[in-house]
Structure 1
Amino acid sequence: MSETQKTKEAQYQVIVEAAKERGVERFGLRSSESWYEDPKHLVFRLSRYKFVAKMLQGRRHVLEVGCGDAFGIRIVQAEVENLTAIDFDPVFIQDVNDRMVERWHFDARVHDMLDGPVPGSFDAVYSLDVLEHIEPKDERVFLENSFGNLEKNGCAVIGVPSLESQVYASPQSKEGHINCKTGPELKALLQNYFHNVFMFSMNDEVVHTGFHKMAHYNFAVCAGLR
């Protein structure tokens, strides 16, 4: 970037100066691929993070289970006090930590939820696009450990693609989606762990309370730990 580069409107010069001072932010591994292959999917993913952020607003210590490249985490960070993120893949966690900046620092670590709960105490847990990758025989262990260190008055948000959406999924998605569920199936599963499970449908970037069979994505907001 040229040292003499000036914007035509003075109020935008701060953008140029910021880029000179700290560089330009980078996408994560997954978000970069989405931006290249099908940009609208990045909008869908970030919309899911916004929904989580609004549901968990004001929480003290939040855990994300299966963060991937964690590109949307800042949206949640802006609404909560502290955030810890885990993923079982060291490649993603290395990418996350390589891109970490001081202003938006959070604890990102390698952890396989099938091995046990994440050490610490959390008043909220969320997981997006993870449960559908867990073998059905392992889902109970995965969820028990995900909620294992959740405080008594804690809550959870779980988001997964709907079973009905899979006829439209790409071959790459289908390869990893081994445990998709209908809305009622997801609710019934989570009721084993919470007294209250509130279901929402999602189509593209819009979250609503519409008919679950027409939803591309299901959200469960859970409270009242059993």
Structure 2
Amino acid sequence: MEENFFGTASSTTAKNVYLHQEASSEFEKFGEGFQLGPYNTRHLLSDPRRIGFMIARHKFVAKMLHGYNNVLEIGCQEGLGSIVVSQEVNHVVATDFYKPHIESCLSRLTGIVSNIEFRGHDIIDAPIPENFDGAFSMDVIEHIEPAQEDRFMTNVVASLSEHGVLVLGAPSLESQQYASAASKVGHINCKSGEDMRAFCNRFFHKVFMFGMNDEVVHTGYLPMAHYLIALCVYPKKELAEQ
């Protein structure tokens, strides 16, 4: 035992905790550890707080969709948020229109997380009509051309069941004065809180707005929120049928 540890003062009980974890078959499939994709690795090394913010957003999604059977993710990127949500729902269909992201997810996560199915798909092209009871899309709508946002939402509605729920998240319009130059180039469709609410109300019967600053989700004054989350309930299915 002692050859595995530095020093001699710590108790045998403390050391056995580490030896038990290492010997557990539950951890064998991870090998040397879980590998992040290149995008998230860059953020972890350059600004690790961004990883914390992203995980906090997806934790909120996971709690809102707790116990849901079949959940659609639109814009899964490298799958880190997908893993967070997968711990609270039965099945996640995680989609992205960027091929390297899906290829990265398939190469790193196949056989590790059993209840996530990664698919390449552009929601602007078409819905995924599998009657999902929940959906989420974090950090996507701000990258969509305003002329295409209705099509985005109509196809999301067409992918949901009659009583489906969507969690939609994006940086607020007010936050953009603090955004980096690189972010501003891609953030072509940020909204204020009330504009986000009005947009979502066109496609859902009920919309509940939340603000977020760093890792904290709140119901405070939306113009002071750095990030917006809309919890959208009961899709207006007639819009998808037109």
The bucket for the TM-score relative to the shorter chain is over 0.9
- Of 7, 11, 26, the match for 2:17: 11
The root-mean-square deviation of aligned C-alpha atoms, in Å, is 1.6
Deviation of residue 148 (structure 1)? 1.1
Q: Structure 1 unaligned segments of length 5 or more: list them.
A: none
User: Which one-letter code corresponds to 1:76 in the other structure?
Assistant: V
Q: 1:16 to 1:101 in 2, by over 3 A?
A: farther
Match of 1:147, SS state, is helix
Q: 1:91 to 1:196 in 2, by over 3 A?
A: same
Q: 1:21 to 1:122 in 2, by over 3 A?
A: closer
Deviation of residue 14 (structure 1)? 3.6
Alignment check: 8 A CA contact 1:119 1:149 kept:
yes
Distance 1:121 1:111 in 2: 16
1:98-117 alignment to 2 at 5 Å?
98-105=107-114, 106-117=116-127
2:92 aligned residue: 83
Alignment check: 8 A CA contact 1:125 1:147 kept:
no
2:184 aligned residue: 174
Q: Deviations 1:128-153 (Å, cap 9, x if unpaired)?
A: 00000000000000111122120001
Match of 1:127, SS state, is strand
For these two proteins, the number of residue pairs brought into alignment is 223
Q: Structure 2 unaligned segments of length 5 or more: list them.
A: 237-242
Q: Deviations 1:156-214 (Å, cap 9, x if unpaired)?
A: 10000000000101112111100000000011001011110000000000000110010
Does 1:215 find its partner at 2:225? yes
Deviation of residue 72 (structure 1)? 1.9
- Of 213, 229, 234, the match for 1:224: 234
Match of 2:220, SS state, is coil
TM-score, normalization by structure 2: 0.88
Q: Deviations 1:58-98 (Å, cap 9, x if unpaired)?
A: 11100000111111212111111111011000000000111
TM-score, normalization by structure 1: 0.94
Q: Single out whichever of 142-151 and 101-110 deviates more from structure 2.
A: 101-110
2:152 aligned residue: 142
Q: Single out whichever of 5-14 and 153-162 deviates more from structure 2.
A: 5-14
User: Which one-letter code corresponds to 2:65 in the other structure?
Assistant: L
Deviation of residue 225 (structure 1)? 1.7
Distance 1:167 1:65 in 2: 27
- Of 74, 80, 86, the match for 1:71: 80
Distance 1:97 1:132 in 2: 26
Alignment check: 8 A CA contact 2:58 2:84 kept:
yes
